[in-house]
Each structure stands twice: as structure tokens, then as C-alpha cells.
């Protein structure tokens, strides 16, 4: 007979497993954090569309991407969305919606006025997707593009895909790089940290609500 050996208590096995898991997380923490940062960006390579829909919120980085697409011949028309007013501009007695501000930025950078529509609609990503679908149907469009910041793109793609489901309208998604969010080192800056966790919370909210 083999000599009897006492078995380890389950709590010790669990503790060893947790310790090993935490050690692996620590050793590979930067790879994991980089993966988390890039997880939010699900944008596509540029391709021709009938109109590009520029979401409100960040006229500079999103505007630069729209300019790149327009000058590259990927879209002859731009729709700027966003009905929210910028509170910082109100301090100077200026009342501009996100869409109007986006339009001004595009005009200042050489996009002709006849190529731009300031929709002044939508106060959230979900509302913007509803308005984009309504516009596409009115115009009889078959393929539109959507531009937003890279960190916003997973929620945008999830929302627009669901809204446009069964519409017969194709939607492409184009990411704009943000100066405030570096996906490979987002945890090293306060802005990056706040953007990542804010967007992660909104993803969860959208999954529950829509």
C-alpha cells in the first residue's frame, strides 16, 4: 500500500491559482493594456461612399479625417451631425451646435460649402444613427460612411449596424485619430485614462439600453 499523504486544502489550491493568474497579469500588463486600448477602434480602410456622416463632438480630429476622405475622392458629400451646443463657446457669447462648428472647420480647411450639410440633429450616438438612416432613406442612398474618433468607433459601429439592420444600406466606418487618446499608452495620461473608462462604461450602457 502507498503511504497516505494529506491532500492540500482547497483554499490553498485556489490561492495558488489566483496568485499565478495575478502574476501573469503583472508580467504581461502592458500587452494587455495595449490590447484593451486598441479594442475600441474597429474602423475600416477608406473606400468610396455616397456621403460621409461626420459625428459631432470632436470637430478637429474628425474633421481632419473627413478632409482626407473628401480630398482623396472617397466621398463627394459630407453631413455634419450633432445638435448639442458647446458650452465653452457660450462663455464668449457664441452659440454654435456641434454640426455648425464642424462645418466651419471644414470650410476653413478648403472644403466647398456646396459639399457640406450641417444637419443640426442628434444629441447622442444613438440619435445620430437614427437621423443618418432617415437621411439615407430620403436621399435613396445605398452606401454611406461614418467618421468618428478611434476610441468611439466600437460603440458607433455597434449602434449604426443595429440601426441600419435590414435597411439594405451599407455602412462603412472610418476612424479619426485623437490627439487626446493614444491606444498603445492610454493609461499613461489622465485624458487617455478618462476617455477609455468613459467609453467602456458607455459601451455597457448601450448594450443594456439599445
Comparing 42 with 91, which gets the higher pLDDT?
A: 42
Task: Report the first-to-last Cα separation within the chain, whole angstroms.
Answer: 64
Classify 74 as helix, strand or coil: coil
Please report the pLDDT score of residue 73 as a whole number: 97
pLDDT tens digits, one per residue of 87-135: 677 777 778 889 999 999 999 999 999 999 999 889 999 999 999 999 9
Q: Are 155 and 206 in contact (CB under 8 A)?
A: yes
Cα separation of 137 and 116, whole Å? 18
Please report the pLDDT score of residue 7 as a whole number: 55
Residue spans of the domains in the chain: they are 42-179
Grade residue 210 by pLDDT with cuts at 50, 70 and 90. confident
What CATH number should be reported for the domain whose range is 42-179? Answer: 3.40.50.620
Amino acid at each position: 500500500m502507498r503511504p497516505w499523504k494529506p491532500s492540500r486544502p482547497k483554499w490553498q489550491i485556489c490561492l495558488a491559482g489566483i496568485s499565478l493568474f495575478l502574476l501573469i497579469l503583472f508580467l504581461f500588463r502592458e500587452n494587455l493594456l495595449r490590447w484593451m486600448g486598441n479594442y475600441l477602434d474597429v474602423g475600416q480602410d477608406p473606400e468610396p461612399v455616397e456621403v460621409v456622416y461626420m459625428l459631432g463632438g470632436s470637430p478637429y480630429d474628425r474633421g481632419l479625417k473627413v478632409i482626407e476622405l473628401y480630398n482623396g475622392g472617397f466621398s463627394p458629400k459630407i453631413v455634419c451631425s450633432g445638435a448639442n451646443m458647446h458650452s465653452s463657446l457660450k462663455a464668449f457669447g457664441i452659440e454654435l451646435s456641434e454640426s455648425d462648428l464642424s462645418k466651419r472647420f471644414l470650410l476653413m480647411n478648403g472644403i466647398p460649402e456646396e459639399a457640406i450639410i450641417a444637419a443640426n440633429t442628434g444629441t447622442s450616438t444613438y440619435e445620430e444613427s437614427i437621423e443618418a438612416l432617415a437621411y439615407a432613406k430620403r436621399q435613396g442612398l445605398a452606401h454611406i460612411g461614418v467618421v468618428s474618433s478611434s476610441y468611439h468607433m466600437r460603440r458607433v459601429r455597434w449602434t449604426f449596424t443595429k440601426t441600419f439592420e435590414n435597411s439594405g444600406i451599407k455602412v462603412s466606418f472610418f476612424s479619426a485619430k485623437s490627439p487626446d487618446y493614444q491606444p498603445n499608452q492610454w493609461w499613461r495620461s489622465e485624458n487617455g485614462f478618462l476617455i477609455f473608462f468613459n467609453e467602456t462604461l458607455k459601451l455597457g450602457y448601450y448594450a443594456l439600453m439599445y
